[in-house]
Chains A and B, each alone.
Chain A
Amino acid sequence: DGGITQSPKYLFRKEGQNVTLSCEQNLNHDAMYWYRQDPGQGLRLIYYSQIVNDFQKGDIAEGYSVSREKKESFPLTVTSAQKNPTAFYLCASSMAGPSTDTQYFGPGTRLTVL
């Protein structure tokens, strides 16, 4: 089955710890995205990547970092610099660029910082 896998589904961390969220796709898509979802806020773009070894900041990149060493993988690290990291994180991918292509979403990771 083709799709996007995010792991884990639920993640708990202590304040001050860095944590990495996994995102893998087997759709052979070039572009991948990370969004943060908070109640009543919609989706806000953290980072996106249109090609391996290249990525761009989104609207709320502060306190987050990413890498794109392989086409299939786009991990997101939530660092201790992120002031309010508790949220639902969604990864997505699309065939090519972000403006016209359908984005396919993973099931999400719910991060809770204690």
Chain B
Amino acid sequence: AQSVTQLDSQVPVFEEAPVELRCNYSSSVSVYLFWYVQYPNQGLQLLLKYLSGSTLVKGINGFEAEFNKSQTSFHLRKPSVHISDTAEYFCAASYQGNTPLVFGKGTRLSVIA
């Protein structure tokens, strides 16, 4: 079965420091990739997505991600985090055909003042 692996369950980082949240997906000829964010006790909100084209994708709130086909990765980055970025982040993928999203288990980002 296709899968998405988020390598870190928790990432603590100091305010204004850079952060990278790692995501790997199952190798596939065709894949669409997403990052969603969930603030406490809320639903999810799309940060960014890769469907095709440029491998560097820019999203909301200063986040960006790079699609790396050879490494089967789609890591999320932000050069300088804020306290308000504290949330859970989910990587998701959709594979060939009209198939539902497969979500990773999430990474909890804690920004420390």
| Alpha-carbon distance between A48 and B101 when the two chains are bound, in angstroms | 11
Partner of A103, one of B41, B42, B46, B104: B46
Residue interface bits A44-86, CB-to-B below 8 A is 1, else 0: 1100101000000010000000000000000000000000000
Minimum C-beta distance from A37 to chain B (A): 9
Question: Which B residues are in CB contact (< 8 Å) with A35?
Answer: 103
Partner of A42, one of B34, B42, B90: B90
A40 and B43 in contact (CB under 8 A), knowing A33-B100, A98-B100, A98-B101?
Answer: no
- Would you list 11 pairs from A and B whose C-beta atoms are within 8 A, ordered by A residue? A40-B9, A42-B90, A42-B104, A43-B90, A90-B44, A99-B100, A103-B36, A105-B36, A105-B43, A105-B45, A107-B42
Number of interface residues of B (CB under 8 A): 26
In the complex, number of A-B residue pairs with CB atoms less than 8 Å apart: 62
CB-nearest residue of chain A to B30: A99
Residues of B within 8 A of A (CB): 6, 9, 32, 34, 36, 41-46, 49, 51, 90, 92, 94-95, 97-101, 103-106
Minimum C-beta distance from A65 to chain B (A): 18
Residue interface bits A97-114, CB-to-B below 8 A is 1, else 0: 111101101111000000
Kindly state the interface size class of chain A when it binds its partner: 20 to 34
| Alpha-carbon distance between A43 and B7 when the two chains are bound, in angstroms | 16
| Alpha-carbon distance between A114 and B98 when the two chains are bound, in angstroms | 38
| Alpha-carbon distance between A45 and B99 when the two chains are bound, in angstroms | 12
